Amino acid sequence: AQKVTQAQTEISVVEKEDVTLDCVYETRDTTYYLFWYKQPPSGELVFLIRRNSFDEQNEISGRYSWNFQKSTSSFNFTITASQVVDSAVYFCALSGGSNYKLTFGKGTLLTVNP
């Protein structure tokens, strides 16, 4: 069975601080994909990034970066110089094997205060 754990339920930071959101996963599949989604207060889940199990390169996109480590089954997400607009619930998700399903973590509510 697949499982995604986001141990941080809520995080509160002050604008311009760096913040890391943790994601730990469990799977028996050798080929799998990891995703991060953002859900702002408006409600729509927005896809941020996908990473496959064979690619452990870190990824940077502007103020966002992702650190994938198979050895610790983690796929952590860092926001550098956070802004108020980053306030949202962030979900980590996993898919793999022969099914179409995404297994989501329970999400981390990030609040960035001015």
51-86: b (≥16 Cβ within 10 Å) or e: bebeeeeeeeeeebbbbbeeeebbbbbbbeebeeeb
Q: Which of residues 28-57 bind another protein (CB under 8 A)?
A: 33, 35, 37, 42-47, 50, 52
Q: Which is nearer to another protein, 62 or 100 (CB)?
A: 100
- 99 is a site residue for another protein (CB under 8 A): yes
- 97 is a site residue for another protein (CB under 8 A): yes
Euclidean distance between CA atoms 11 and 26, whole angstroms:
23
Q: Pick from 11, 59, 65, 104: which binds another protein (CB under 8 A)?
A: 104
Q: Pick from 3, 16, 63, 106: which binds another protein (CB under 8 A)?
A: 106
| H-helix or E-strand spanning residue 21 | strand 19-21
- 61 is a site residue for another protein (CB under 8 A): no
Cβ(74)–Cβ(4) below 8 Å: no
Binding residues for another protein (CB under 8 A): 33, 35, 37, 42-47, 50, 52, 91, 95-102, 104-107
